[in-house]
Amino acid sequence: MITFDKLWKTMKEKGVSTYYLREKSGIDSKTVRRLKANENIETKTLDKLCAALNCKIEDIMEYVED
């Protein structure tokens, strides 16, 4: 299972809110809800998140065995 727990940790470390993330990366609130629920998102969204947070993919997501 892919989880986005690291995203919230990275955001906290950088002092970034979900509002800032939506404005800076251009993702909508529906996508934020999907991230919080660890649901599927598009790779272009991952790209936008990494660009907005100036981080690597492993800073926002990880694979965890079920």
Amino acid at position 20, single letter: Y
CATH homologous superfamily for the domain 2-55: lambda repressor-like DNA-binding domains (1.10.260.40)
Per-residue pLDDT, 41: 95
**Is the Cβ–Cβ distance between 19 and 25 less than 8 Å?**
no
Q: How do the domains of the chain map onto residue ranges?
A: 2-55
Pair of tokens at residue 61: 């997501």
Rounded (5°) CA angle 17-21-23: 115
pLDDT tens digit at each of 66 positions of the chain:
999 999 999 999 999 999 998 998 899 999 999 999 999 999 999 999 999 999 999 999 999 998
Say whether 63 sits in a helix, a strand or coil: strand
**Is the Cβ–Cβ distance between 62 and 7 less than 8 Å?**
no
Say whether 2 sits in a helix, a strand or coil: strand
